[in-house]
Homo-oligomer: A and B are copies of this chain.
């Protein structure tokens, strides 16, 4: 019945909406993007949006953030499973962010900082998705640091600091139109993780 339908019923429209929402929200933030912008980018009519995301813009943004969060978490998990050290994973993320920001001429931000600064009580779903995203990245990175031999508490702290530094670096890099600051993040975290 309804459960079976969810397995294959992906008529592309929903995915197109999500893809457009991801890109646009990362570029201009939640309030900087109108639903009509998303509709135009996805080449979808308004009815489809409110059919797939009944709660509207908040709903769409929340799912978009969840998608970004999942992608980054998968990236971390993949590297972690391959045996990469925590600091190396952080370095890989920073490098990826730097490349993409430069490629987009700083008109776009990776991760979710562009939306994180604007969620409020008016956007409960988005706020929840953001919190969940950060929690997920932290735990994924913490697992990598534990594997490196750090005690759990210290691994959790290193993971938190890594997430926060990456988000901050993305913001500063965009404001200054210079990815240099991203390169310093991984060594910073590596030093934290290495020292007793």
Spell out A's residues near B (CB within 8 Å): 27-32, 107, 109, 113-121, 127, 130-131, 133-135, 157, 160-161, 163-169, 171-172, 174-177, 180-181, 184-185, 188, 191-192, 195
Contact = CB atoms under 8 A, between A and B. Distances in A.
A133 B191 CA distance: 28
Contacts of A115: 117
Per DSSP, are chain A's interface residues mostly helix, strand or loop, or mixed? helix
A185 B127 CA distance: 23
A29 B123 CA distance: 14
A108 to B, nearest CB: 10
A178 B130 CA distance: 13
A174 B31 contact: no
A164 B181 contact: yes
A111 to B, nearest CB: 10
A164 B166 CA distance: 8
A28 B118 contact: yes
Contacts of A107: 120-121
Given A29-B29, A109-B117, A134-B176, A171 B181 contact: no
A94 B67 CA distance: 31
Contacts of A168: 113, 163-169, 171
